[in-house]
Structure 1
Amino acid sequence: MKRHAGWIAGAATAVLVAAGAITYAVAGDDGSSAAPTAESADAGFARDMAVHHQQAVEMSYLVRDRTDDEDVRRLAYDIAQTQANQRGMLLGWLDLWELPKVSSDPPMTWMGMGDMPSAGDGSLMPGMATDAQMKRLGTLDGRRAEVYFLQLMTAHHKGGIHMAEGCLDRCAVGVEKRLARTMVDGQQSEIDLMADMLRERGAKPRS
């Protein structure tokens, strides 16, 4: 329990550090200083990716307590810290823009996907695990937990990259687009690493 609390404290600290960057989140690539509207891609991406990231943090906490493998625990720690930090930025920008953190529109509306299921398996957005999958991860231990986590997180990262690329195409705020690029590059690197880790365990990503 103490170790879990330490992780939460570390993630909270990362969010506070990220708050120092929110004041730079108004100017768009064209130099304009108008804040985005609630219906903009900038706001939609910030809202949806904050939810997407929160599940990755929760998933990382789960596997950390289900295995003693240092490589998996280190990866989970890195993902939790990075995505908690980025989530703090996204929510901070919404505060800065004086926009709501929730919307009555379905998720992914800003990408033109709000009128269709984000996935055929009941997940909220592309790549996100279902409630049943999260519950199952919490019941596994050791190698089985490692493999299931790596498979779920690989799918999660692929969905996150899809969303971040959508922001690169649609968002106007320069610093948000730079964060989206960081997400694409960082998560693709972790996907490659997780593919290697799955091979070491005699498994592979789910199709």
Structure 2
Amino acid sequence: MRPRARVATMIATGLLAVPVLAACSSDDAGKPAAPPAPARALGPAPAAVPNPPADDSVEAGFARDMRTHHAQAVQMGMMIRDLTQDDATRKLAYDIALTQQEQIGRMASWLQMWGLTLGSTRPVMQWMTPGSMPGHSGHGTPAAGADTQLMPGMATQAQLDKLATLHGKDAEVMFLQLMIAHHEAGVAMAREGEARAQVQQVRDLANTMVVGQSSEIDLMRSMLTERGAG
């Protein structure tokens, strides 16, 4: 199966992708595959909460848009694992994919608990303060010259297609460059969620994203420098 086809299949399975990601840790390279974990029942829907966030709230917009943004990070993380044998790059990619897949599931659970749909017809990024996102004018309207189908920081399909053709150091450099831009936009989104959300669990997760992704940005910049592409 081609790398992008396998990635699409894994993302489509949502939370069920987490055991698969864990099974391909770089720490297990060369070892026999562990038996698959037994399937877990999803269980009943979470109980509704009193006074849940509205469909047009910061909380709902943050959860929906961040899930979409995270999904591409998972995709790129799984792509690079097939394109390089570098342990540092593969470990970073695994950590990003596993962490962000877990957060995707957590935000989906919130939306279900709030009685809201996972998707929306509302313009993306509409929940953010105008001017708070570099490269985006706010209120769901992309800045001049931006790709109207993408959120800030997300790679284009042409960039993903090019990444899929590279191997070794070339693939590592492009992955790091794309993921730094992706993380920078994700941090801006998370800071906005942390500052404006009223639900404490949303603010807490947003803070976790700011801290974790900022640290990963620093690491990726140093990795680029090591590869002569700083």
User: How would you bin the TM-score normalised by the shorter chain?
Assistant: 0.7 to 0.9
Q: What is aligned with 2:107? A: 90
Q: Does 1:163 align with 2:186?
A: no
Q: What is aligned with 2:198? A: 172
Partner-residue secondary structure (3-state), 1:60:
helix
Contact conserved, 1:119 with 1:125, CA < 8 A, in 2? no
Relative contact order (C-alpha < 8 Å, sep 6+): which is higher?
A: 1
Matches within 5 A, 1:100-139: 100-112=117-129, 113-117=138-142, 120-122=145-147, 124-139=150-165
Contact conserved, 1:67 with 1:142, CA < 8 A, in 2? yes
Code of the aligned partner of 1:12? V
1:100 Cα offset (Å): 1.1
Quick check: which one's helix share is greater?
1
User: TM-score of the superposition, structure 1-length normalised?
Assistant: 0.84
Quote the sequence identity (%). Answer: 49
Answer with 132-141 or 40-49: which moved more: 132-141
Code of the aligned partner of 2:18? A
Partner-residue secondary structure (3-state), 1:109:
coil
Contact conserved, 1:25 with 1:93, CA < 8 A, in 2? no
Computed over aligned residues only, the root mean square deviation of the Cα atoms, in angstroms, reads: 2.8
Q: What is aligned with 2:33? A: none
Contact conserved, 1:25 with 1:174, CA < 8 A, in 2? no
Answer with 100-109 or 120-129: which moved more: 120-129
User: TM-score of the superposition, structure 2-length normalised?
Assistant: 0.76
Q: Does 1:147 align with 2:173?
A: yes
The total of aligned residue pairs comes to: 193
Unaligned runs of 5+ in 2: 22-38, 130-137
Partner-residue secondary structure (3-state), 2:153:
coil
Answer with 59-68 or 121-130: which moved more: 121-130
Answer with 102-111 or 178-187: which moved more: 102-111
Rounded Cα–Cα distance in structure 1 between residues aligned with 2:17 and 2:48 = 22
Q: What is aligned with 1:12? A: 18
Q: What is aligned with 1:29? A: none
Q: Which has the larger radius of gyration?
A: 2
Unaligned runs of 5+ in 1: 27-32
Rounded Cα–Cα distance in structure 1 between residues aligned with 2:111 and 2:87 = 36
Answer with 80-89 or 122-131: which moved more: 122-131
